[in-house]
Amino acid sequence: MKLKLVFSYDGSAFLGSATQPHKKSVQDALQKALNHLGIFSKVLMASRTDKGVHASFAVACVECGEHFKDLIYLKKQINKFSHPYIHIRYLKIMPSDFEVRYDVKSREYRYIFHHGHFNPFLSRYVYFYPKIDIQKANEILKYFIGEHDFKYFCKSGGDNKTTIREISNASAYTYKNMTIFHFKANGFLRGQIRLSVASVLKVLENKMDIKELKDQIKAKKQHNHILAPSNGLYLSRISY
């Protein structure tokens, strides 16, 4: 039986989402929780996130025996071993040909800025930053929309066959005392959103102009190689 797991996790507790030799990743922790219940098949993840990046809507898949059909009970048992840093939102039985990574149609991320006084209890989950001009931020973000070669918005070490991606949404909105950047695409490169966010901030701070940003988006020249902090970034949705 092929099982899809939709879950959230606190990225500050892990050194990334993908399995690593030190076993301190989200994938390793989820695998360990499942092993406690007698599910030993390899957990496959739909998306990868860097150290410190969070997820409110991550997806994984695992093969398990038919006797695990009581999904409400199974969810409760997995959470018993995965809490407090991973929480299973729901489980769903999938067709045998379901591919958790390659069937994805789009991925969405949100980057959260907090404009209030610094709070150490929130510092792992938001990026404290001065008030942002929403209108100007949206004017800048619109340049990312469309199909582009994002080779200058990519960290080294990825296994991508191509650096071309199509972004269907890049926008900013406010919520209470926060500004949130929203990105939606058919896929993202390693570090792409954090490099994009940092580049937008550089334009807002007048440390980079629009022409330089457009040159980087058009893969002509890299003007910014600094990433925004990981703690403000959330994987917010994966659609099939």
Mean pLDDT of 57-64: 97
The string of DSSP codes covering 19-62 is: --TT--SHHHHHHHHHHTTT--SPPEES----TT-EEEEEEEEE
Count of the separate structural domains present in the chain: 2
- Assess if residue 59 is contained within a domain: yes
Same structural domain, 89 and 111: no
Mean pLDDT of 30-48: 97
User: What CATH number is attached to the domain comprising 126?
Assistant: 3.30.70.660
Residue 161 confidence class, pLDDT cut points 50, 70, 90: confident
Whether residue 158 has pLDDT greater than 70: no
What is the extent of the structural domain holding 41? 2-94
> Which residue in the list 50, 103, 149, 209 is annotated as catalytic?
50
Same structural domain, 117 and 13: no
Residues 98-118 pLDDT 10s: 999 999 999 999 999 999 999
Mean pLDDT of 7-33: 95
The reply to whether 109 sits in an annotated binding site is: yes
Q: What is the β-pairing status of strands 54-63 and 146-149?
A: unpaired
Residues 218-229 pLDDT 10s: 999 999 999 999
To the nearest whole number, what is the mean pLDDT of the chain? 96
Instruction: Decide if 50 is catalytic.
Output: yes
User: What CATH number is attached to the domain comprising 60?
Assistant: 3.30.70.580
Same structural domain, 191 and 74: no
Closest CA to 2 of 134, 100, 104: 100
Mean pLDDT of 70-89: 98
- CA–CA distance from 65 to each of 62, 68, 206, 213 (Å)? 10, 6, 57, 51
- CA–CA distance from 53 to each of 34, 173, 187, 199 (Å)? 23, 20, 17, 18
Same structural domain, 26 and 115: no
Residue 159 confidence class, pLDDT cut points 50, 70, 90: low
pLDDT at 43: 98
Same structural domain, 79 and 115: no
Whether residue 235 has pLDDT greater than 90: yes
Same structural domain, 168 and 133: yes
Q: Which of the listed residues 43, 66, 94 is the one where a domain comes to its end? A: 94
Q: Which residue has the tokens 């901030």?
A: 201
- Assess if residue 33 is contained within a domain: yes
Q: Encoding tokens for residue 237? A: 């949705």
